[in-house]
Structure formats: structure tokens, C-alpha cells
Structure 1
């Protein structure tokens, strides 16, 4: 079914508004280019003069042109070797901003009783801070390995395996959404999933409401809601 324009810059397909936030119990967000304004891996790479190369891989991965997301992320992280923790701190303080409407949407959902989940192919250095800043309940993302000993405080170009697995890709985002729903005792159809890239599609496909925010074409086409003008809080226009 083709999407129809509900309001300027806000398209819907597969349902008729208004909805009720009370019908949902969980909202899951991607981070990079969804909750925040940047792709963190690209900005980290700028510290070692590799932004152009890394950004090209990121763009291809988000468009779904690289089928193996894990391999694409390993390739990008390998190019970050030598970046310092101080470099990443500068990315956070000088370049990273919440996207317009992010805080308003999160707070409205929390006020309506929804739990919040942040699932990211990015890194805990940033997701933990966004979690604390917005009061998000659950997170899953990747851990960058940092050297100890000589050159301590520099990235090694590798990631650290975690108890749940190695890399948070699209399959892991879907798994985390389903696990969180099970933990809460709710159906995935009581969840909202918000993202912008191809690796968000697996979790968006499980949710009762899928939302594409300033997203890649493939994601806009498959989402039930596509916001292509304005902030994240435009989603609230669909709720009574």
C-alpha cells in the first residue's frame, strides 16, 4: 500500500489515525541520525583523517547496499585505530546534539507509561550518555576496545565481545526488541520502533508501529510512518 501524506512532511500507510499512546507499552529508538544529529563513527574517524572513507561505508550500509552490517562496522572501526578517548569526548561535547523533538517525544512516551529502549549499532561511549540524558530504560550497543599500557586511552580498531554477542546489528536490534517485550510481558505489537537505516528494518518489522525518521528510501518505503520534515515529536500528531 503506498504511503499517503497525513500532513506536510508526515506520511502514513497501513492504518488510520488517530492512535492512542495507551495502546503501546514500549518505544525503541535507533541512536545515530535518529535520536541524535550525527553518525558517531564518522565523526570519530575525522580525528584521524578518515572521515570520508568511513562515511562512505556508513552511507552504503544504511542504504542496505552492504548486506553484512557486522563486516561493514568492523571495517569502519579498524580505521579508528589511534583515536583517543579525548577525541571521542570532543565529538560528544562539540558535535553531538539531540535531534529536534527527541526529548519531547521521549518525555511524552514516558508520561504515557511507555518504557524506552535504545538499540544502536554505535558505541556505549555515546549511548550510555544519551541513556542518562533522556532517562531511557534499556540500551544495547557496541563497546570499542581501548588500549591499556603504552598508548593507553587510544582505540585499538577493534570491538569487545559482550555476554549477548559480538556486534549489535539489525538482527540483534530485533532480538533486543523481542527480549524486552518478553521481559515486560507485552506483545511486540504493543511496541513502537523508530529508525533511519537498513539495519533498523528487522526491529521495525516486529513492532506494532514502525517509524522512519528522515530515513533512507528503503526504510521510508517499508515504515508505517515516515517523518521527512520537522522533528521526532511530529509522531505525536498521530495520537489523540
Structure 2
């Protein structure tokens, strides 16, 4: 594999895209309010992410797989995201996304937005509908940090040439191991821990920080 000059890794929900996908799926089950409250608590770091995700996915039980197409139609890319990924590529970098969200949506959204590699959770399906369980190990904060380090090693990118961008408590570990940790559209605890806080909600603001 060709070495890259640097690596930028983003969170997906409320970072790469403006939405929280699990809340859009919960709309399909008529349970958005309860799932939204649980998501907010998890992003603030008030509850364990994996435990919270399992409880929120349980609320999606019975949602038909056809709902994925409807959710995809509601996805809003974050302003500036295409400009950012293009700028990374022009400078010889690679863009990764590691998400506590879901491959079922990210597999369509990520390549369209110029993302080179991505990792997320998978939803278990039975008889054409969501079972209410996660399929496989959960992508949590530790998995996000490990993904950044693994991709950097594969690409021959030193730690100081990595940038992590996130908004929630489960992004803190990834931001801590990166050369530069950027809080974007972030909760207070994340803003406090970040190297820099980026705003307003436009990812093209990251471009001047690229190596």
C-alpha cells in the first residue's frame, strides 16, 4: 500500500454528516424522543457508550430493512465536508471515518463524500427487519482510537501527522492518540479536551490546519 503524507479521521454522526442516524431509524419505530435523549447522554459521557448503544438499538426492533433507503434520503452532509476531503487528497493525505453509527448507512454515504476507509457498527437483521441487536463487536471509544492507530501504521503515517475530528465523549480516546484532536460541533467535555475547537459548523475550516 502506498504511504500517505497524513491521515484525517472523522466521526460520522454530527461530524461527517449533520444527522444522528440512530435517531432517524428511531423515527421509523416511533421512538425518536427516547432514543434522542439516550444519545445525548452518551455523547456527554454520562453513560457507557456500549451499554447505551445496545439499549438504543433494542428500541429499533421491528424496523424493516426498507427503512434504510428512507433514512439515506434524509442524510445531510456537513457543510464543507467535500471541500475538506478534496483538500486532504490534493495534499497527499487519506480520509478515514470511524463511527459508533452503522455500516448500513455509512457504506453509501462515505464514498460519496470522498472518504477512503471507514469502520462502524452493524445492525442484526432477522426476517427482513432489525432484531434489536448489534451484529459483532461494538465500535466504541477504544475501537475508534485503535482504528486511527491501525490505519496510520498501515499507511506509514507517524502519530504526529494524524488528525482526529469528533463531537462526543466516545471520540475523546481517538482525539487523545492523534497528533491533533479537533472538537467539531462538540459537547463541553470534548471542547475542553481538544487541541482546537472548530466552528461554526463548516468542515472546510479544518483545511488551513492540514499539513
Count matched residues: 208
Summarize the alignment of residues 21-100 of structure 1 with structure 2, pairs less than 5 Å apart: 25-66=6-47, 68-93=48-73, 95-100=74-79
> Is 1:228 equivalent to 2:199 in the alignment?
yes
User: CA–CA distance in 2 between the matches of 1:101 and 1:127?
Assistant: 18
Decide whether the 8 Å contact of 2:199 with 2:205 is kept in 1: no
Q: 1:105 to 1:171 in 2, by over 3 A?
A: same
| Equivalent of 1:118 in 94, 97, 101 | 97
Q: TM-score, normalised by structure 1?
A: 0.83
> Is 1:218 equivalent to 2:189 in the alignment?
yes
Give the CA deviation at 1:56.
0.6
Give the CA deviation at 1:24.
5.3
Decide whether the 8 Å contact of 2:78 with 2:201 is kept in 1: no
Secondary structure of the structure 1 residue equivalent to 2:120: strand
| Runs of 4 or more above 3 Å deviation | 237-240
Which residue in 2 is equivalent to 1:12? none
Summarize the alignment of residues 91-170 of structure 1 with structure 2, pairs less than 5 Å apart: 91-93=71-73, 95-147=74-126, 152-161=127-136, 166-170=137-141
Q: 1:106 to 1:84 in 2, by over 3 A?
A: same
> What are the superposed Cα offsets for residues 211-235 of structure 1, whole Å, 9 maximum, x if unpaired?
1111101111111121231401011
Decide whether the 8 Å contact of 1:143 with 1:160 is kept in 2: yes
> What are the superposed Cα offsets for residues 148-203 of structure 1, whole Å, 9 maximum, x if unpaired?
xxxx2210001111xxxx00000000011111111112222210100100000101
User: CA–CA distance in 1 between the matches of 2:111 and 2:51?
Assistant: 29
Give the CA deviation at 1:238.
3.9
> Is 1:208 equivalent to 2:179 in the alignment?
yes
Which residue in 2 is equivalent to 1:17? none
Unaligned runs of 5+ in 2: none
Decide whether the 8 Å contact of 1:24 with 1:192 is kept in 2: no
User: CA–CA distance in 2 between the matches of 1:142 and 1:168?
Assistant: 6
Secondary structure of the structure 1 residue equivalent to 2:151: helix
Secondary structure of the structure 1 residue equivalent to 2:134: strand
User: CA–CA distance in 2 between the matches of 1:136 and 1:74?
Assistant: 27
User: CA–CA distance in 1 between the matches of 2:141 and 2:209?
Assistant: 26
User: CA–CA distance in 1 between the matches of 2:210 and 2:11?
Assistant: 21
